[in-house]
Each structure stands twice: as structure tokens, then as C-alpha cells.
């Protein structure tokens, strides 16, 4: 459940998340072909980590977790309204993920069967329930869990050999990618604190105790599940932000592009996609991307925008500057690898010559090689590692 204080990840949580994501991806394909709705129940009696993160990873349309119940008494109406809007704008399926401990704001349980009945009664949709159950605990551990177990086990031996008999019991965990040791009593107090906060219906405290990453993920999911984005604020300046891929293809590129496009559009800005990497930026293959154009990209491999390892040189920079000016681009996000980083650095170095490059230039690391500066883990590296481990097994 990944519900233990004192560590960012508990051993087994990543593997369980893999099982859920694989199952939801498989369900999504049959749901879309039959235009059905599916309610997927996952483990998490007092912790919504698995439900929340699987919803984020799979692009689910709604999620219910114990720490943050729907803030409306008529939450069923709100959920059905969002799902119905999604169908109207082109979604072929609806996926709702429910943690087994989900409840409304009054503490009443929300079961997967109840959600199924709501969707059938209010939307008239053919709805199925899948309870994943103990399949989440089974199977071979993921690469992350194998490595985490090894590192924590090694540090546990070091801790035992260095401790005095009267030393307080410790929890060996990982925080910020660093192995840590935290007093057991403190960890148990904080862990119990979340359960007590949920029981007392103090949901703000429960979310705060889960930590910033959990809270941020929840807010992102709340935006991504929308059928349509918020309207731009009256009088706001709508920036024109370009998103592109660069370097070799990497798993997760499409997921990152989808998140960037939707979060940007929801904030009222105009999001543009650059086709075929920096060659596309040179040739002017730039077009606006809408909310629904990136629907379904969460689980797709490769690069829907297209990418390559071309690094601009000489006259290429003039062409890029011309296209940035022509499309009135206010910022550029490059999601990619080493070649993409080199290309962005080249634009930075050419700023004195080309004023069009005096805009925010942002790089998001995406490469299976995991060799980029400024990041401990690049998008795609974990997927590649799991593919290798599966092949070796």
C-alpha cells in the first residue's frame, strides 16, 4: 500500500503498481472497443497511493481514494457529468479506479459495486467491475523493487552491526533517492496519524501527512481527468508554448507531452506541438494541440510528435528563429535526450545573434540511458530496465 512513514517507497509497492497498470491498460482496450465503462478496485484500505498513481499512469477518467473523498454530497452527479462530457467530446470508454477504502466526506464507504450501479443508472452505460485483489501482491518483483530491496537490506545489516543494544528500533527507508534511518516510534506515530485523521474526517491533515508528492499528484490527476479544460481567465495573457521531443525515442515521452499540453491548456495558454524533433522546428512543422488530441497518449510508446537525433548547426538556427517568430512562440519545452539537450544549448549560445531565442527554454530528461545532467532518473529508464530484467528472467 506504500502507507509507511519514513520512506518514499515501501518494498512491493512498485511491483503492485505495475500489476495494476498492466491490468488497466488491458481493460482499456476492450472497454474502448465495446464503448463500455469499467470500475477497477485496487488495494488501499487506508492509503490511496496505488489508486492515485495508477490513475495518473493510465490516464483513468476518475479516481476515489480515502484521503481525499469527493468534496460534494452529490459527488455521483459530478462524476457522471464529467464522464458524460468525456463521451460527448470523443472518449470511447470510461475507467474509474476505486481504492478499497474509498469513502465519502461523511465517512460512508464507496464500493466499486456502488459506483457501477451509479454509472448504469445515471448514464445508462454497460458497466463492468474488476476487483484486482491478490494479483497485486503476486508475480516477479519489478526492477525497482529488486534494487530497492537489495540496497535497504545492505543498509539494514550495516545498521545492525553498528547499533548498540539500547538503540531505538529503526526503519530503513529511502527518501529523495537516499537511504535513510528513522526511529520506528516516530514512523508508527505518523503512519497511525493518517489513519486517525481519516477516521476523524480531517482530510486536509491526512493529505498533508502523506507528503507533498502525494498532494501534487492528486492535484494533477484532478486536472487531467477533466473532459474539457477550464476557460481562460478574462483578460489573461495567453502564452504560446511549444512542446517537442528531441534525441532518441524513450518510453514515457507521450505521457509527458500529454501532461504538458493538458496542464498548459487548463491554465488558459495555447499549446503547440512540434513534429519530428528539431528537424520539424527547422522546417516549421508546428501546429496547435487541443485537449482531446492528446487523449489516449498516457500509455502509448514511442513519440507521437516524432523525434530524431538531429542537432541544429549553421543556418539551422536562422530557420528556427524565423519559425519561432512566425508562430509567436513564448516558451519552448523539449522532452528528450542528449541530442535534444545539445540543441537547446545551441539555441542558448545563439541568443545574442537571434533575439527570438530569448524565451524560457526548458528541458525534461527522457532517455533510456539515464545519462543526463541535473536528474537522477530520466523518463524511460525505469521502463527500459524492467524490459531488460524481464528478458533476463
Give the pLDDT of residue 125. 87
Give the pLDDT of residue 191. 95
Give the pLDDT of residue 90. 85
In a domain, 365, yes or no: yes
Of the candidates 349, 373, 353, 372, the one whose C-alpha atom is nearest the C-alpha of residue 361 is 349
CA distances from 294 to 142, 152, 176, 256 (A): 28, 39, 31, 10
The answer to whether residue 14 is catalytic is: no
Give the pLDDT of residue 77. 95
- Tell whether 348 and 321 lie within a shared domain: yes
At residue 35 the predicted structure's pLDDT band, cuts being 50, 70 and 90, is confident
Lowest mean pLDDT among 104-118, 139-153, 156-170, 260-274: 156-170
- Tell whether 220 and 310 lie within a shared domain: no
In a domain, 326, yes or no: yes
> Residues 161-179: what's their mean pLDDT?
88
In a domain, 170, yes or no: no
Answer yes or no: is pLDDT of 25 > 90: yes
CA distances from 358 to 14, 275, 329, 340, 349 (A): 41, 22, 11, 18, 10
Give the pLDDT of residue 270. 98
Residue with cell 504560446: 240
At residue 95 the predicted structure's pLDDT band, cuts being 50, 70 and 90, is very high
- Tell whether 219 and 295 lie within a shared domain: no
pTM of this structure: 0.94
With a pLDDT cut of 90, the percent of the chain lying above it is 91
Give the pLDDT of residue 109. 97
- Tell whether 250 and 219 lie within a shared domain: no
Distance CA 213, CA 307 (A): 30
pLDDT in tens, 282-311: 999 999 999 999 999 999 999 999 999 999
Give the pLDDT of residue 33. 74
Among 196, 224, 252, the domain-final residue is 224
Among 192, 224, 256, the domain-final residue is 224
> Residues 38-58: what's their mean pLDDT?
96
In a domain, 143, yes or no: no
- Tell whether 134 and 245 lie within a shared domain: no
CA–CA–CA angle 64, 58, 338 (5° rounding): 135
Give the pLDDT of residue 358. 98
Give the pLDDT of residue 117. 96
Task: For 56-169, list the strands marked E by DSSP.
Answer: 62-64, 94-99, 127-131
Give the pLDDT of residue 45. 92
> Residues 360-365: what's their mean pLDDT?
98
Distance CA 51, CA 383 (A): 20
pLDDT in tens, 249-281: 999 999 999 999 999 999 999 999 999 999 999
- The domain of 22 spans 13-138+215-224
Give the pLDDT of residue 297. 95
Question: Longest Cα pair distance anywhere in the chain, in angstroms?
Answer: 71
Give the pLDDT of residue 116. 97
From the list 1, 61, 145, 382, the catalytic residue is: 1
At residue 55 the predicted structure's pLDDT band, cuts being 50, 70 and 90, is very high
How many independent structural domains does the chain possess? 2
- Tell whether 344 and 305 lie within a shared domain: yes
Amino acid at each position: 500500500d506504500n502507507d509507511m512513514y519514513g520512506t518514499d517507497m515501501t518494498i512491493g509497492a512498485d511491483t503492485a503498481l505495475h500489476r495494476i497498470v498492466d491490468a488497466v491498460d488491458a481493460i482499456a482496450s476492450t472497454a474502448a472497443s465495446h464503448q463500455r465503462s469499467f470500475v477497477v478496485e485496487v488495494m488501499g484500505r487506508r492509503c490511496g497511493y496505488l489508486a492515485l498513481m495508477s490513475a495518473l499512469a493510465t490516464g483513468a477518467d476518475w479516481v476515489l481514494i480515502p484521503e481525499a473523498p469527493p468534496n460534494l454530497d452529490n459527488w455521483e452527479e459530478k462524476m457522471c457529468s464529467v464522464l458524460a462530457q468525456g463521451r460527448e467530446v470523443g472518449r470511447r470508454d470510461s475507467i474509474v479506479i476505486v481504492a478499497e477504502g474509498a469513502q465519502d466526506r461523511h465517512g460512508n464507504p464507496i464500493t466499486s459495486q456502488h459506483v457501477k450501479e451509479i454509472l448504469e443508472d445515471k448514464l445508462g452505460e454497460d458497466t463492468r467491475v474488476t476487483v484486482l485483489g491478490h494479483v497485486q501482491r503476486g508475480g516477479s518483483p519489478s526492477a525497482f523493487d529488486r534494487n530497492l530491496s537489495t540496497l535497504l537490506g545492505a543498509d539494514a545489516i550495516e545498521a545492525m552491526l553498528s547499533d548498540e543494544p539500547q538503540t531505538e528500533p529503526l526503519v530503513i527507508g529511502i527518501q529523495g533517492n537516499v537511504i535513510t534511518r528513522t526511529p520506528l516510534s516516530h514512523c508508527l506515530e505518523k503512519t497511525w496519524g493518517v489513519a486517525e485523521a481519516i477516521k476523524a474526517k480531517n482530510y486536509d491533515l491526512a493529505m498533508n501527512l502523506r507528503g507533498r508528492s502525494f498532494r501534487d499528484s492528486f492535484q494533477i490527476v484532478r486536472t487531467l481527468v477533466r473532459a474539457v479544460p477550464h476557460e481562460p481567465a478574462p483578460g489573461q495573457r495567453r502564452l504560446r508554448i511549444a512542446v517537442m521531443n528531441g534525441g532518441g525515442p524513450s518510453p514515457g515521452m507521450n505521457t509527458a507531452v500529454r501532461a504538458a499540453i493538458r496542464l498548459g491548456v487548463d491554465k488558459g495558454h495555447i499549446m503547440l506541438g512540434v513534429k519530428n524533433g528539431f528537424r520539424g522546428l527547422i522546417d516549421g512543422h508546428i501546429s496547435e494541440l487541443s485537449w482531446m488530441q492528446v487523449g489516449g497518449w498516457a500509455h502509448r510508446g514511442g513519440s507521437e510528435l516524432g523525434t530524431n537525433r538531429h542537432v541544429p548547426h549553421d543556418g539551422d538556427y536562422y530557420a528556427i528563429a524565423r519559425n519561432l517568430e512566425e508562430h509567436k512562440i513564448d516558451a519552448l519545452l523539449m522532452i528528450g535526450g542528449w541530442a535534444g539537450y545539445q540543441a537547446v544549448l545551441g539555441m542558448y549560445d545563439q541568443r545574442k545573434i537571434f533575439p527570438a531565442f530569448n524565451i524560457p527554454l526548458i528541458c525534461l530528461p527522457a532517455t533510456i540511458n539515464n545519462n543526463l545532467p541535473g536528474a537522477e532518473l530520466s523518463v524511460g529508464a525505469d521502463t527500459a530496465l524492467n524490459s531488460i530484467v524481464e528478458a533476463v528472467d
